[in-house]
Amino acid sequence: MIRFNCDYNEGTHPAILERLSKTNMEQIPGYGEDHYCRQAADLIRAKCQAPQAAVHFLVGGTQTNLTVIASALKPYQCVLSADSGHINVHETGAIEATGHRIIPLPAIDGKISAAQVQQVCDAHYADDNPEFAAQPKMVYVSFPTEYGTLYTKQELQELHEVCQKNNLFLFVDGARLGYALTAKKNTVSLPELASLCDVFYIGGTKVGALFGEAVVILNPALQADFRYYIKQRGAMLAKGWLLGLQFLTLFEDDLYLNIARRANEFAARIKKAFQKAGFPLLYNSPTNQQFPILPNELVKKLEGKYVIAHFGHPDAEHTVIRVCTSWATTEENVAALEKDIASL
């Protein structure tokens, strides 16, 4: 069976594995206070053109989301998210478990707009007793979204402005950030992203690392004492240099972007194959996740050879599937899939 179901089916990029091997017997201080973490943080700050940013390394996405959000909000404040946002649908109430409400906004193609944010704020403060509802204080967006789609620079700029205007933090979940930055249609550079939000993270788990997410905190108000939050949430890795080493490797020579770009190109070929074969797409994704709609029996046929993810049923006869590529996807497997799609 060939796996196209997600982008974390294999271990890690060989360059990372090699570096872990080479440094395995080095004696290194723990808890992220080592020179690899420092170098990786410096490099990320440089790539973001954000010399004042604080950079921390955590292990996984849900962990990062709950740590960042709970660090930024006061107990009565809430976070706005696309209804399709990862924190709203796929984290077992992790945000609520830290005491905070999520206000879901109806998303279009996985995205929310500045106008929707403004409307929530207006409604909140128009109430005679705003204190009877949780106070909006943060906007959470995923870039790319859970549907592989992208905010344009214009859209992110508008979200930035509506947040500034309403005294909200803008938090960008970049679990798959590499695929966004290297998408052909993308209009947002890494420094631009860093200039438009208060905090974001660069996903490693889904872009070539064994594990790891690099949190970049731009807003000084969110930087203070962040290590306390990491430790309290059980998110401080004892052998913290494992994270620094991985991100150092990913950001030297732009490995992070190169492997993401390659995965996007493979995904574009698969997308084209589905389109050519006459299958519609649920979302028009320019990144590494594709969502074709197939008759159920053809899904079953594909599943004789491939592992893919199911993503719902538009009607009784059809299934939306998710096909993902990654740093580990091979030319050979893509070619096989193209051929099999053509013959469905």
Q: Which of residues 306-325 bind a copy of itself (CB under 8 A)?
A: 307, 310
Query: Tokens standing for 32?
Result: 């992220």
Is 237 near a copy of itself (CB under 8 A)?
yes
Distances from the Cα of 275 to the Cα of 108, 229, 309, 323, angstroms: 21, 46, 18, 14
Is 142 near a copy of itself (CB under 8 A)?
no
In the complex with a copy of itself, the residue whose CB is nearer, 76 or 187, is 76
Q: Residue 36 in 3-state DSSP? A: helix
Inter-axis angle of helices 241-251 and 255-276, to 10 degrees?
A: 70
Residues between 57 and 86 with contacts to a copy of itself, criterion CB under 8 A: 59-67, 70-71, 74-76, 78
Residues between 184 and 213 with contacts to a copy of itself, criterion CB under 8 A: 205-206, 210-211
In the complex with a copy of itself, the residue whose CB is nearer, 46 or 307, is 307
Identified binder of a copy of itself from the candidate list 167, 232, 284, 296, rule CB under 8 A: 232
Residues between 81 and 110 with contacts to a copy of itself, criterion CB under 8 A: 89-94, 96-102
In the complex with a copy of itself, the residue whose CB is nearer, 307 or 342, is 307
The count of chain residues that interact with a copy of itself, using the rule CB under 8 A, is 79
Q: In the beta sheet, which residues pair with residue 102?
A: 79
Place of tokens 């279009």: 108
Identified binder of a copy of itself from the candidate list 49, 108, 220, 234, rule CB under 8 A: 234
Place of tokens 């320019």: 286
Place of tokens 């940013």: 53
CB-based burial label for 226 (10 Å; 0-12, 13-18, 19+): middle
Q: How far is the CB of 72 from a copy of itself (least distance, A)?
A: 10
Is 6 near a copy of itself (CB under 8 A)?
yes
Place of tokens 């159920």: 296
In angstroms, the CA 261 to CA 326 distance is 9
